Structure 1
Amino acid sequence: MAFLRRVPWRSLIPLVLLTVGAAYSLASWNWCGSWAERAPVVLSQARGEGPLRAGAAKVALVPPFPVVVAGYAPPRPEAAQADPPLHARAVVLEAGGARVGLVSLDLLSVTMDVVERVRAQAAASGLGEVLVMATHAHSSMGGYDSRLVAQLAGTGKFRQESVDAIVTAAVAALTRAAAAMTDVTLAVGEAHEPSLVYSRSSGTAPDGALTRVVLRAKTGPVAELLLFAAHPTMVARERAYVDPDYPGRLCALRESEGSGVTLLLQGAVGNASVAYSEGKGLERVAGFAQVLATVAGKVAVSPVGESVRLSLARVEATMPRPDASRLVPSLTRAAGDNLLCESAQRVAEVGALALGPLELVTVPGEPTVDAGAVLVGRTGATGVLGLANGYVGYVEAPELVNDGRGESRRQYFGPALLERLASAAELAARTAGFSR
C-alpha cells in the first residue's frame, strides 16, 4: 500500500488508456461473423374444409412467486402476487381433417423455447399445429427468456420455473379445449375505433381496426377472438403486482357477458399505444377495458356457410445480421452488434392462418402499421397477427429504417428484416391457400 501511495497518479494514465483500448478493441472485434441467407422453407401445413368444430378453455397461469415484473428496462419491481390473475386461453379448431390450436398468454412475449415445448406436449392431444401468442402486457411476469438482451431490456433474470409455469398453463388450456370440441358456426365482423389508439412515432397512424370472430354451438357461445392492436402499457411501471393490463380485463369482461372464452390477439400496430385517458391509475385500465368490451359487443358479425375453410402453414425464414447502428452511439456500433448477435435468432417462423374469410399472416414480433401494410400487400391477407410463435422485436418498413424514423430505433435488425419476413409470408400464404 505504501508503494501505491508513492506512485504518481499521472503515471497510471497510460495503463488505464491501454486497458480501455484493449477492452474496446476486444468488444469491437467481429464476433458475430457473417449470417447465411437462404430461401424460406415450409415447416408444416394443414388444410381442410368442411363443417367446423371448436373447443375452448381458460386456465390460470400461476407464476413462481416472487417473480420479476416484465415490460420495461431496469429497475423492475418484484411481485408476490397477481392482480388480476394471469391466464392462458386456448381455442382448438377443426374442419375437413385439419386441426389447429390457438393459445393466447397474458405475457409480454413468447420465446421459441416456450413455443417448441408447448407444441411437443400438445401433440399428445392430437394437436400437430399450434400458434402460441402473447397479449403483450407490459406488466406481466418475466424470467422466461434466456437471451441476454431480452433479460436486460424487458423480461428480467431468467428462471426455468417461469418457463415451466407458462408451458404448463398453455398445454393445459389446449388439452382442455381439444377435449371440449363440438360443432360450431362461424361469424365474422369488423369495426374501426381510431379514437382508442394513436401512433407514438412518425409512421402511419393506426386505424383502430377491431376484428371479431364468434364461434357458437347450439348450446351457446364457445369462443370469441378479438384482433385489435394497441400496446398494453396502461399499468404503472412501479406497481409491484403481476397484472395482465387491459387484455386480461377485457377478456374477463366479455366472458362474464356470455361470449365464451375470449382471446385478445395483437395486430400489426407495434407502434401504437392506448389513447383513452379517463380515470387514473387502475381505474383508467379498467375503464379502457370496459369501453373496448362495449365496442366489441356491438361489432356486427356475418355468418359463414356450413362449410368452413381452415388452414395453417408455417415457414422458416433466415434473419439478416443484427444491426445496432440505430440503438447505440456510433463508436460502440460493433460492440452493440456483438451483443445483439449473442441474443438474436438466426431463423424465425412466419405463418399464414385461414379461417373462413379471414386470412392472417402471423409474425414473431411487433410489426408496425407500415410493415403490416407491406405484408398485406405482398400476401393478399386480410390482416396481420403479431407476437406469434417467437419474438424478434420490432418490424419496421425499410424506408423508415434507412431514415431512422418510426420504430426503427427499437428494431434489432437492419432494413432487410421486413423483406425476409415478407418473402416467407408469401410462401406461407400460397401454401395455406390464400385466395389471392
Structure 2
Amino acid sequence: MSSSRRSFLRSLLPFALLTAGAAYALASWNWCGPWEERTPEVLSQVRGEGPLRAGAAKVALSPPFPVVVAGYAPPRSEASQAELPLQARALVLEAGGARVGVVSLELLFVTPEITAGVRERAAKAGVKEVLVVATHTHSSFGGYDARWVAQLSGTGRYQESSVNAAVAGAGEALEKAAASLRDVTLEVASAADAGLVYSRSGGDAPDGQLTRAVLRGAQGPVAEVLVFAGHATLIPRQRSFVDPDFPGRLSALREEAGHGVSLFVQGSEGNASVAFNEGQGPERALGFARKLSALADGAVPASEPGPVRLAFARVQTALPRPDSSRLVPAFTRAAGDNFLCASSPREAEVDALALGPLELLSIPGEPTVAAGRALADASGATHVLGLANGYVGYLDTPEQVRAGQGESRRQYFGPALLERLGAAARVASGAVGFSSDAVGSK
C-alpha cells in the first residue's frame, strides 16, 4: 500500500470513529419514553345460564401463495402450496341469552389486527364476544404481523393479504357456526400422559394433560374442544409447503372419527416440547396426533347436568416497558430496548371464559408451566390458555426472568410482565365469576 493511501486512510479514522460513536449514542438514546401504568379495565362482559346451544364449522384457509413459512428466524423458505389444507375452526356457544364464539386458527400466533377483523365479521353474525386462538403451528404461513420484531424473528415480511386470508377463513367459519346452533349437552373429562412432553428449558415440567370438552347434540357430537400444551414443531423448517403440524392432524383424525368439529387449543406451552421421535416430518406429526387422539379417547367425558353457565369477559391491561437485557449484549442494551419499544404493544387483552365447570383464562403469549400455574392461582382458572387475541411473546416467572433462565431468555418484557397479566387475570375472573372450587387442574 502506498504511503499516500495509508495517509488517506489514517485521515478517515477519526471520522469513522466519530460516526460510529454518534450512531451508538443515537441508538442508545431513550426513544421509548414513559410507559403508562393503569388499573386493568373491563372492556366487555356477558353472562348467562340455561339450556346450552352450540354450532360449529371449519373453513379451509387460503394463504396468498407464494407465501413465507412462519415459525423460525431467517433464512425462511417460501411455500407455493399446502401439505394439508390449513383450517379455521369455529364454535359458537349460547346459554341464557349469552353468546360467545371461539375460533382456532392453524397459525403460529394471532395479532390484534386479525382478532379485530374476526370480531367485526362475527358481530355481523350476531356474535359480539369472540376468543381467537392459534394452534402455534411453526410451519404455517406468515406475513400477517406488521411489527419489525415479528417480521425478523418469525413471521416474515408483512403483507395485508395474509391478514385478509386469516380473517376471511375465521369469519366464514364463525358465520357458519352461528347459523347452525342447536341444543347440546356439555361433557368434560381429562387424561394425562407425562411421557408425551418435556421441559425444553428447565423449570417445572409439563404434565401432558389433555382436557376434552364435548358438545353433543341429538344426532351426535357437534364439536369437541381439546386443550393440550406442546410446541407444534414436528414439521422441519426449510420446506416449500405450509403444514398444520400435529394440531391440524389431530383435529382431522377426530373429525374423521365422528367427534364433530375439533378445535385444538394450546395450554401453558411456553417450555413444553413434544417427546415423540418416531418417523420424520409429516409422518412424525401424524404419529404424535394419533397418540393424542388415543389419549383423548381415554378421557371418557361425563355429562354436566342441569342448566349450563356461560360467561365471558375481556380485560385490557397496560404492559411494562420492554426489557432486552436477556436478549442482547450489555453494551447494546439501550439500543435493544429501543428496538423492542418500537415493536412492542403497550397494552394487552386478557380474557376469561366460563363454560360449565371449565374456567378458562386466556393470555396473548406463551406462558410457561410455572407462569401458567401462577396465573391459575391468581385467578382461580381451571386452565390457562396461550396464544389468544394477540401476541406479547414468552411469559416466565419473575424469578426466572431475574436469573435470566428458562424461557425468559426469549421474553421481551421484564419481570413485571407476569404481575401485570396476573392483575388483569384477577379482574377478568372476577367479572366472569370463577368459583374457587371449579373442576379441573390448576
- Displacement of 1:5 in angstroms is 4.8
- Match in the other structure for 1:152: 152
The 1:35/1:4 distance shift into structure 2, 3 A limit, reads farther
- Match in the other structure for 1:322: 322
Is residue 34 from structure 1 mapped to residue 38 from structure 2 by the alignment? no
Q: How far apart are the structure 2 equivalents of 1:296 and 1:40?
A: 36
Contact persistence 2:56–2:92 (CA under 8 A): yes
- Displacement of 1:164 in angstroms is 0.6
Write the mapping of 1:288-367 to structure 2, written as runs, cut at 5 A: 288-367=288-367
Q: Aligned to 1:388, what secondary structure does the other structure show?
A: coil
Q: How far apart are the structure 1 equivalents of 2:280 and 2:164?
A: 35
Deviation per residue, 1:323-363 (Å, 9 max, x gap): 00000000000000000001101000001110000001110
- Displacement of 1:7 in angstroms is 4.7
- Match in the other structure for 2:198: 198
Q: Which amino acid aligns with 1:163?
A: V
- Displacement of 1:300 in angstroms is 1.2
- Match in the other structure for 1:430: 430
- Match in the other structure for 1:179: 179
Write the mapping of 1:196-345 to structure 2, written as runs, cut at 5 A: 196-345=196-345
- Match in the other structure for 1:408: 408
Q: Which amino acid aligns with 1:371?
A: A
Q: How far apart are the structure 1 equivalents of 2:30 and 2:432?
A: 40
What is the count of residue pairs matched by the alignment?
A: 435
Q: How far apart are the structure 1 equivalents of 2:106 and 2:393?
A: 18
- Match in the other structure for 2:168: 168
- Displacement of 1:379 in angstroms is 1.1
Q: Which amino acid aligns with 2:167?
A: V
After TM superposition, the score normalised by the length of structure 2 is 0.97
Deviation per residue, 1:271-299 (Å, 9 max, x gap): 11111111223211111111111211221
Contact persistence 1:79–1:241 (CA under 8 A): yes
- Displacement of 1:141 in angstroms is 0.2
- Displacement of 1:406 in angstroms is 1.1
- Displacement of 1:122 in angstroms is 1.1
- Displacement of 1:193 in angstroms is 1.0
Contact persistence 2:108–2:134 (CA under 8 A): yes
Contact persistence 2:192–2:295 (CA under 8 A): no
Q: How far apart are the structure 2 equivalents of 1:173 and 1:370?
A: 34
Contact persistence 1:102–1:130 (CA under 8 A): yes
- Match in the other structure for 1:398: 398
Q: How far apart are the structure 2 equivalents of 1:3 and 1:307?
A: 92
Q: Which moved more, 1:301-310 or 1:129-138?
A: 301-310
Deviation per residue, 1:19-61 (Å, 9 max, x gap): 1111111100000011010000000001000000000000000
- Match in the other structure for 1:58: 58
- Match in the other structure for 1:44: 44
Q: How far apart are the structure 2 equivalents of 1:146 and 1:345?
A: 12
Q: Which amino acid aligns with 1:85?
A: P
Structure 1: runs of 5+ lacking an equivalent:
none
Q: Aligned to 2:43, what secondary structure does the other structure show?
A: strand
- Displacement of 1:162 in angstroms is 0.5
- Match in the other structure for 2:134: 134
Percent identity reads 64
Contact persistence 1:210–1:226 (CA under 8 A): yes
Is residue 421 from structure 1 mapped to residue 421 from structure 2 by the alignment? yes
Q: Which amino acid aligns with 2:161?
A: E
Q: CA RMSD in A?
A: 1.2
Deviation per residue, 1:147-189 (Å, 9 max, x gap): 0000000000000000011100000000000000000000000
Contact persistence 2:402–2:415 (CA under 8 A): yes
Deviation per residue, 1:209-242 (Å, 9 max, x gap): 1100000100111000000000000101111111
- Match in the other structure for 2:440: none
- Displacement of 1:3 in angstroms is 13
Contact persistence 1:319–1:420 (CA under 8 A): yes
Structure 2: runs of 5+ lacking an equivalent:
437-442
- Displacement of 1:380 in angstroms is 1.1
Any runs of at least 4 consecutive aligned residues in structure 1 with deviations exceeding 4 A, and if so which? 2-7
Q: Aligned to 1:8, what secondary structure does the other structure show?
A: helix
- Match in the other structure for 1:389: 389
Contact persistence 1:52–1:306 (CA under 8 A): no
- Match in the other structure for 1:380: 380
